[in-house]
Structure 1
Amino acid sequence: MPPTATLSPPAGPWRTEFSATMKLAWPLAAANLLQMLVHAVDVIFVARLGEQELAASSLAIALFGLILWGLSGLTGAVAPLIAAELGRRRHAVREVRRSVRMGLWLAVLVGALGMIACLGGERLMLLTGQDPKIAAMSGDFLQIIIWAMIPMVLSNVLRIFVSALDRPIFATMIIASAIGVSVLANWVLVFGNLGAPALGLEGSALASVFTSLFILAAYVAAIGWDRRLRRYRILGNWWRTEWGRMKDIIRIGTPIMFTIFAEAGLFSGAAFLMGRIGPSELAGHTIALQVAALAFQIPFGIGQAATIRVGYHFGAGDTAAIARAGWIALAIAVAFSMVTASIMLFAPLTVLSIYVDVNAAGNSAMVGFAVQYLLLAAIFQLVDAVQAVSAGNLRGLQDTRVPMVIAVFSYWAAGFSISIWLGLNSPLAGVGVWIGLAAGLLVAAILLTWRWAQRGRFGLV
Structure 2
Amino acid sequence: MYQTTTIKDKYKLMLKMIVPILVTQVAMYLISFFDILMSSRYGTADLAGVSIGSSIWMPIYIGLSGILLAITPIVSQLVGAKKELDAKKAVQQGIYVAILLAVLIFSVLLVGIDWILGNMNLETSVHNIAKSYIYAMCAGILPLFLFCVLRCFIDALGQTRVTMMITLLTTPINIMLNYIFIFGKFGAPELGGIGAGVATAITYWLIFFITVWIIAKHVPFERFRIFHDWPKLEWLRWKEILIIGVPIGISLFAETSIFSAVTMMMSSFSTEIIAAHQIALNFTSLLYMVPLSISMGVTILVGFEIGAGRMQDARIYSYLCVATAILFSFISACILFLLREPVANMYTTDREVIEYAVQFLVFAAIFQLSDAIQAPVQGALRGYKDVMITFIMAIISYWVIGLPVGYTLATHTDFGPFGYWIGLVAGLTTGAITLLIRLLLVQKRFTSTSKVKIAN
Fold shared by both chains (TM-score > 0.5): yes
Partner of 2:454: none
Say if 2:118 is the partner of 1:126: yes
Partner of 1:264: 256
Match of 2:35 among 31, 42, 51: 42
Q: Alpha-carbon deviations, 1:7-66, whole Å to 9, x = none?
A: xxx985222221111111111111111112222333455456544444444333332322
- Segments of structure 2 that go 5 or more residues without pairing to the other structure are 450-456
1-side partners of 2:171 and 2:357: how far apart? 28
Partner of 2:18: 25
AA of the residue aligned to 1:71: L
The change in CA–CA distance for 1:110 and 1:232 in structure 2 (over 3 A counts) is same
Partner of 2:341: 349
Partner of 2:452: none
Q: Alpha-carbon deviations, 1:230-268, whole Å to 9, x = none?
A: 111111212433321111011111111111221122212
1:221 is displaced (CA, Å) by 1.8
Give the 3-state SS of the residue equivalent to 1:97 in structure 2.
helix
Partner of 2:313: 321
Partner of 1:434: 421
The change in CA–CA distance for 1:103 and 1:444 in structure 2 (over 3 A counts) is same
AA of the residue aligned to 1:87: G
Alignment check: 8 A CA contact 2:69 2:149 kept: yes
Alignment check: 8 A CA contact 1:126 1:132 kept: no
Match of 1:228 among 202, 209, 220: 220
More displaced 10-residue stretch of structure 1: 300-309 or 16-25: 16-25
1-side partners of 2:108 and 2:210: how far apart? 27
2-side partners of 1:193 and 1:222: how far apart? 32
Alignment check: 8 A CA contact 2:173 2:203 kept: yes
More displaced 10-residue stretch of structure 1: 124-133 or 273-282: 273-282
Match of 2:380 among 373, 383, 393: 393
The change in CA–CA distance for 1:106 and 1:274 in structure 2 (over 3 A counts) is same
More displaced 10-residue stretch of structure 1: 440-449 or 194-203: 194-203
The change in CA–CA distance for 1:210 and 1:233 in structure 2 (over 3 A counts) is same
Partner of 1:213: 205
1:199 is displaced (CA, Å) by 5.7
Partner of 2:86: 95
1-side partners of 2:124 and 2:115: how far apart? 10
Alignment check: 8 A CA contact 2:345 2:354 kept: no
Partner of 1:379: 366
1-side partners of 2:40 and 2:416: how far apart? 29
Cα RMSD of the aligned pairs, angstroms, is 2.5
Alignment check: 8 A CA contact 1:80 1:307 kept: yes
Match of 2:177 among 160, 171, 185: 185
Aligned length: 445
Partner of 2:453: none
1-side partners of 2:41 and 2:287: how far apart? 26
Say if 2:56 is the partner of 1:63: yes
Give the 3-state SS of the residue equivalent to 1:231 in structure 2.
helix
Alignment check: 8 A CA contact 1:162 1:170 kept: yes
2-side partners of 1:277 and 1:195: how far apart? 38
AA of the residue aligned to 1:342: C
Alignment check: 8 A CA contact 1:63 1:118 kept: no
AA of the residue aligned to 2:437: W
Alignment check: 8 A CA contact 2:42 2:183 kept: no
2-side partners of 1:314 and 1:195: how far apart? 55
More displaced 10-residue stretch of structure 1: 299-308 or 37-46: 37-46
AA of the residue aligned to 2:87: V
Partner of 2:297: 305
AA of the residue aligned to 1:319: M
Alignment check: 8 A CA contact 2:315 2:443 kept: no
Alignment check: 8 A CA contact 2:137 2:200 kept: yes
1-side partners of 2:156 and 2:84: how far apart? 13
Say if 2:151 is the partner of 1:164: no
Say if 2:9 is the partner of 1:16: yes
1-side partners of 2:414 and 2:391: how far apart? 33
Say if 2:273 is the partner of 1:286: no
1:76 is displaced (CA, Å) by 0.8
Partner of 1:78: 71
AA of the residue aligned to 2:258: L
1:96 is displaced (CA, Å) by 1.2
More displaced 10-residue stretch of structure 1: 346-355 or 99-108: 346-355
Say if 2:414 is the partner of 1:423: no
Say if 2:241 is the partner of 1:249: yes
1:437 is displaced (CA, Å) by 0.9
2-side partners of 1:115 and 1:163: how far apart? 27
2-side partners of 1:285 and 1:58: how far apart? 9
Alignment check: 8 A CA contact 1:311 1:397 kept: yes
1-side partners of 2:286 and 2:150: how far apart? 23
The change in CA–CA distance for 1:143 and 1:418 in structure 2 (over 3 A counts) is closer
Alignment check: 8 A CA contact 2:37 2:347 kept: no
Q: Alpha-carbon deviations, 1:95-135, whole Å to 9, x = none?
A: 11011111111111111101001102122211334345644
AA of the residue aligned to 1:105: Y
More displaced 10-residue stretch of structure 1: 175-184 or 387-396: 175-184
Mark the structure with the bigger radius of gyration: 1
1-side partners of 2:190 and 2:343: how far apart? 35
The change in CA–CA distance for 1:265 and 1:414 in structure 2 (over 3 A counts) is same
1-side partners of 2:94 and 2:187: how far apart? 40
1:374 is displaced (CA, Å) by 2.5
Runs of 4+ in structure 1 off by over 6 angstroms are: none
Partner of 2:439: 452
The change in CA–CA distance for 1:415 and 1:192 in structure 2 (over 3 A counts) is closer
Say if 2:321 is the partner of 1:334: no
TM-score of the aligned structures, taking structure 1 as reference length: 0.89
Q: Alpha-carbon deviations, 1:390-423, whole Å to 9, x = none?
A: 1111111111111000001011222112212222
Match of 2:101 among 98, 110, 119: 110
TM-score of the aligned structures, taking structure 2 as reference length: 0.90
Q: Alpha-carbon deviations, 1:176-205, whole Å to 9, x = none?
A: 211222234344445554455556665543
The change in CA–CA distance for 1:245 and 1:417 in structure 2 (over 3 A counts) is same
